[in-house]
Amino acid sequence: MASVIRNVFAVPVRWLAWLGDQGTRAVAAIVFIAAAVPPLGALLRPYFTEAIFALLCISFMRVDLVALSGHLRRPALVAAATAWTTIGVPLIVGLIAWSAGLTTRSPGLFIALVLQGVASPMMASPALAALMGLDATLVLVTLVTSTALVPFTASLFAGLFLDGMLSVSPLTLGLKLLGILAASLLAATIIRLVFGAEAIQRNKRPIDGLSIVLLMIFATAIMGDVVKDLLADPVFTIGIALLTFAIYFALLALTTLIFRRAGYERALAIGLMVSQRNLGLMLAATSGALPTTTWLYFAVTQFPIHLAPYMLTPIARRLTARAPAAATAPGTT
């Protein structure tokens, strides 16, 4: 009986391992598949919340407890990164959008930018950091601390910038985020207790593959109408897409620059997290009751989110290869 069960699961496990080996190449391919097959988006849309939950379970499940305790013993970096992503980013993004006059020129785009600013980091950020070989534990710890503050910071900045433009309560969003975090942490803890950390590490490749499948479910659910919008108004859609890339890389570069004294490998990990905002849960919390332009912005921002890790992986690998050498060089401590 045991051999039958092993044979049944052998093929999907091998397939997931192969997919996991593709790493950021597969992540980059997701957006093109999601945009090219709109019916798939309609089919998977009811399951994107579950995909987010499962991604966070994987992130908690794979956390390095030794590295986690090290970060908690030196909380300055986590505190600084948390303050930057929960206070600095929404303040800067909101002020720039407001000073550009978007409240009257394009209210839907203004709402999208403010929601992007106040959102917590994307729950898939630790998984993407792991695929790139970056410090996924640092990303996960900061993700947890910043998400815990979202009920307060999101309420503050939504009230400051949106002023009645959005009907949903940011507090409701924050409570949903906290509930998902608590449930996924519990599930991940049970999995670690049942299977053990060694088994999880031994099955790293198929777990990476499963993360990629879950990312595809999420991206496909959001991007179902992108091609239709592109055909209807190509100039506007391309302009929105270029804006999402500009904001993504501006946040990434600015964050990396700010945290460079912690080491460029860690700074890049924080920059990756900060530039990837959890817009999916914003859609879930508002039940999709958002202007068309807001929907379009949320959809096309999946392009930089999924393409950037592939583009940045060579840089990340050089940084991580240099870090151990620097740590063991003569005269270092």
If you write DSSP's letter for every residue of 13-78 in order, what string do you get? HHHHHHHHHHTHHHHHHHHHHHHH-HHHHHHHGGGHHHHHHHHHHHHHHT--HHHHHHHHHSTHHH
- Between the alpha carbon of residue 97 and those of residues 101, 109, 161, 253, 328, the distances in Å are 7, 9, 9, 19, 46
Q: Which two tokens stand for residue 176?
A: 């949903």
For residue 121, list its beta bridge partners. 277
Q: Provide mean pLDDT across the span 216-245.
A: 85
The whole-number pLDDT of residue 258 equals: 94
Show the CA angle centred on residue 170, arms to residues 71 and 147, nearest 5°.
10
How many residues appear in the chain? 333
Q: State which of 213-222, 249-258, 261-270 shows the largest mean pLDDT.
A: 249-258
CA 86, 92, 94, 95 dihedral sign is: positive
- Return the DSSP state at 121: B
Three-state DSSP at 142 gives: helix
Nearest to 131 by CA among 219, 25, 248: 25
Among 164-168, 177-181, 192-196, 224-228, whose mean pLDDT is lowest? 164-168
Three-state SS across 186-205?
A: HHHHHHHHHHCHHHHHHCHH
Contacts of 295 (CB under 8 A, 6+ apart): 225, 283, 288
Domains and CATH numbers, the chain: 25-319 (1.20.1530.20)
Q: What is the pLDDT of residues 315-328, one digit of tens each?
A: 777 776 665 544 43
Distance, in Å, from the CA atom of 259 to the CA atom of 89, rounded to the nearest integer, reads 14
Three-state DSSP at 217 gives: helix
Q: What is the mean pLDDT of the chain?
A: 80
Is the model more confident about 8 or about 297?
297
Whether residue 177 is predicted with pLDDT greater than 70 in this model: the reply is: no
Whether residue 174 is predicted with pLDDT greater than 80 in this model: the reply is: no
- Between the alpha carbon of residue 234 and those of residues 10, 36, 242, the distances in Å are 45, 16, 12
- The percent helix, strand, coil of the chain (3-state, each to 5) is 85, 0, 15
Question: How does residue 2 score in pLDDT terms, banded at 50, 70 and 90?
Answer: very low
